Structure 1
Amino acid sequence: MAEHWTATDWGSTEHWKFVPYDAPTPGPGEITVRVHAAGMNPADRKHVSAPRLGVAMPVSIGYEISGEITAIGPDTIIGSGPAQIGDEVLAFRIRGGYATEVTIPAEKAFAKPPALTHPAAANLLLAGTTAAEMLTVTRVQAGETILLHGASGAVGVSVLQQAAHRGVRVIGTASADRFDEVRRFGGVPVAYGEGLVDRARDAADGEISAALDAVGTDEAVDVSLELVAVRDRVVTIAAAARARAEEFRWIVGSAPDSARFRDSIRGELVNLAGRGMLEVPVARTYPLAEALEATRFLAEEHPGGKIALIP
C-alpha cells in the first residue's frame, strides 16, 4: 500500500497527516508513478493554509515529483511522447506529490533527462516555468540589462540561467553571502538595503530595461518602479496588492493565461536541463516521513537551494 501526506483541515501543518492509501489504477490518459523525490515549494503550504473556493478537504499535498512509471492507462502517452513501465519521468502541476506512489494525468509527465538527479528533476518546473513567464511578460530581449530581486532564490537562479541563455545581462539583488551563487549563474550581484537604487544604476552602467521581483518587499517594488519607466516591464510574483494599486504586472500560476504559458514551456525547459543548460541547485533532502520538519525549514530558513522529500 502507498502512503501520502494530506491536509485534513485548513490552517497550520498540525492538520497534515501521513497516511496509507491506495493509488488509483490509471485509466486512459493516466499513469501511476513510484515517487523517487517530491519537490518542495512555498505554495505547498500556502495553498492549504486558508479556505479556497471550490476546494474541499482533505487535500493531498505536493505539485512536483520525479520517479518511475509503474502503470500506464490504455491508449496513453505522456507529455513528451510514448512511454512504458519502468521509464523515469518528472511531473509538474499535479496533486498529491508528497507520496510514495501517485496516479496522475499523463500529459503532466515528461521523460526525465539522465543528467538530472531525482531531487533536481522534482524541483525543475515550478520555479523554471515561473522564471520563464517573468522574462516573457516583460518582453526581455537579447542585449538588454534587467534587474532581478531575489537572484539567489529558486526562481531567481532559474531566471539567471534562462536570461543568460537569451543573451540578457542581469543585475541581481542578494545578501552578500550569496554573491558567489549569483555570479556562478551569470548575474552581477548587488546588496539589497539602503542605497539599492544607486548600486543598481552603477552596476548596470546604462539603461535597465525591465525589473523582475521574486521577493515582494516594498523596497523591491519601489526600486523597480524608480528604475524602469514602462510599468508593464515590471513584474512581481509576490506583491500582488501593490501591483494592482500601481498598475504593474503580477503573475500567478493559477491564472488561466499563466497556466497555459507554463504548460507550453515545460518541454523546452526539460530539454535545456537535459543539455546541461539549466541547473537546479538542491540544498537538502529529507525523508518523506519528515515532511513537517522540511516544511518548517523551508518556511523559516534560507535554504540556499531547493529541498526534496525522498520516500
Structure 2
Amino acid sequence: MRQHSDARRDDGSRAVLLDSFGGPEVLALKDVSEPRAGDGQIRVRVTAAGLNPMDWIMTADAGTAARFGLSLPCGFGTDYAGVVDEVGAGASGYAVGDRVFGAALSRAVADHVVLDADGNIASGIAHHTPDGVDDRTAATLAIAGSTASAALDVLGLGPGDTLLIGGAGGGVGVFAVQLARIAGARVIGTGSPSSAQYLRGLGAEPVAYGEGLTDRVRDLAAGTVTAALDLHGTDTVHVARELGVPDGRICTIAGQVDGVPAANGANAAPDALANIARLVAAGRLHVPIAATYPVEDIRAAVELQAARHVRGKVVIDL
C-alpha cells in the first residue's frame, strides 16, 4: 500500500468531532485550532486512523461516554499512524520525522494529535513504526492487537493446545488467530458459513456458529479443546464449558461470566505492540484491510464498520 506524503499541510488542522452523542450521523469534520506540543509531549501529523467497535460504542450515548471519561465536544477514533512533526521540551525518544503508531483515546481521526511522550491510552501512546509496515496497517494495530495479546496471555497457549475462538473473523480475531498460531496452537474459529475461506486464510479451521455449535466443534476437534476465547459475547464461554474447558483457560473481552477471566488492551504487556509490529514487518502476521475511506466520508466508514460484517479492518485516510 502507498505511504502518505510527509509534506506539511498548509490548510490548518481538521478533526472529526461530535457535538452530541449518537450514531454516525453526529460525526462532523471540522476546522480546529492547530494543537501544539507542550513540555514532555510530541505532536503527530496523522496519516491514517483505524476504526474499532469501541469507537462508536463509547460515543453512542452520554452514559457510556462518561465511563470512558469523555465529554462534549468530543473527538472520535483511537488508533492512528503518522509522522512526528513537533517535539516539546523534555520529550525524549522521538524526533521530528519519526514514523509512529499508537492510540489516542477518542481523538485519533484528526490531522494532528498531541501525546505525552511517556503516556498511556488516555493521554496518548506512540510506538515507532518499523520499516516494512505501511501507515494504513500500522493504524490498525493498537487496540485490536493489544486486546488480542492480553487475552492470549491469560490463556498461556503453546504447542499442543487447541483454541476455540468465538467471533474469529472480527477485528480482534484477525490478531488472535494469527498470534495463537504463531504460539503453536491449533485454532478453531467460529463465523458465518460465508466466512469460512477468510478464516482459513488467517490460519483457523472454520466452524459455523449457532445452534449445535458444541457438537460441530467436538466433531471438528477430534480430541480435546484446551482453551477458548470469546470475542463477541458469552456464547463461546458456554460452549467451551460444555466441552470441558476449565474456566481458567477461557477468556472474554466483550462479556462477563462469573469465574471466567476477562481481558482488554490495557492489560497487554508493555512490549506487546512493538512485538506485533515486528511480526507484521517480518511478514509473519498479516492485517487484512477491508476498506479505506477519505476522512470526508467518515460517516459512511463508521456505518460499514458498525454493521459488524466487515472481514478485516476499516481505515480512514487523512
Is the pair's TM-score, using the shorter chain for normalization, greater than 0.5? Answer: yes
Q: Which runs of 5+ in 2 are unaligned?
A: 1-11, 119-124
Q: Which runs of 5+ in 1 are unaligned?
A: 254-258
Query: Aligned match of 1:235 in 247, 251, 257?
Result: 251
Within the alignment, does 1:270 sit opposite 2:277 as a pair?
Answer: yes
The equivalent of 1:38 in structure 2 is 49
Name the CA distance, whole Å, in 1 between partners of 2:98 and 2:304.
Answer: 32
* Mapping for residues 88-103 of structure 1, pairs under 5 Å: 88-103=99-114
How far 1:125 sits from its partner (Å)?
A: 2.0
Query: Aligned match of 1:213 in 227, 230, 248?
Result: 230
Partner AA of 1:155 in structure 2: V
Taking a change above 3 Å as real, the CA distance of residues 211 and 93 of structure 1, as seen in their structure-2 partners, is farther
Within the alignment, does 1:190 sit opposite 2:190 as a pair?
Answer: no
Name the CA distance, whole Å, in 1 between partners of 2:161 and 2:84.
Answer: 42
- 8 Å contact kept, 1:76–1:106: yes
Name the CA distance, whole Å, in 2 between partners of 1:121 and 1:171.
Answer: 27
Identity %: 34
Within the alignment, does 1:224 sit opposite 2:240 as a pair?
Answer: yes
- 8 Å contact kept, 2:187–2:204: yes
Name the CA distance, whole Å, in 1 between partners of 2:101 and 2:162.
Answer: 33
* Mapping for residues 52-91 of structure 1, pairs under 5 Å: 52-53=66-67, 54-77=69-92, 82-91=93-102
Name the CA distance, whole Å, in 1 between partners of 2:104 and 2:15.
Answer: 17
The TM-score with structure 1 as length reference comes to 0.89
Query: Aligned match of 2:127 in 106, 110, 123?
Result: 110
- The total of aligned residue pairs comes to 297
Query: Aligned match of 1:138 in 155, 163, 172?
Result: 155
How far 1:13 sits from its partner (Å)?
A: 3.3
Taking a change above 3 Å as real, the CA distance of residues 105 and 189 of structure 1, as seen in their structure-2 partners, is same
The equivalent of 2:180 in structure 1 is 163
Query: Aligned match of 1:302 in 306, 309, 312?
Result: 309
The TM-score with structure 2 as length reference comes to 0.87
How far 1:92 sits from its partner (Å)?
A: 2.0
- 8 Å contact kept, 1:216–1:239: yes
How far 1:222 sits from its partner (Å)?
A: 2.4
Q: Which is richer in helix?
A: 1
- 8 Å contact kept, 1:23–1:103: no
Partner AA of 2:306 in structure 1: A
Does the residue aligned with 1:97 lie in a helix, a strand or coil? coil
Does the residue aligned with 1:250 lie in a helix, a strand or coil? coil
What RMSD in Å do the two structures reach over aligned CA positions? 1.8
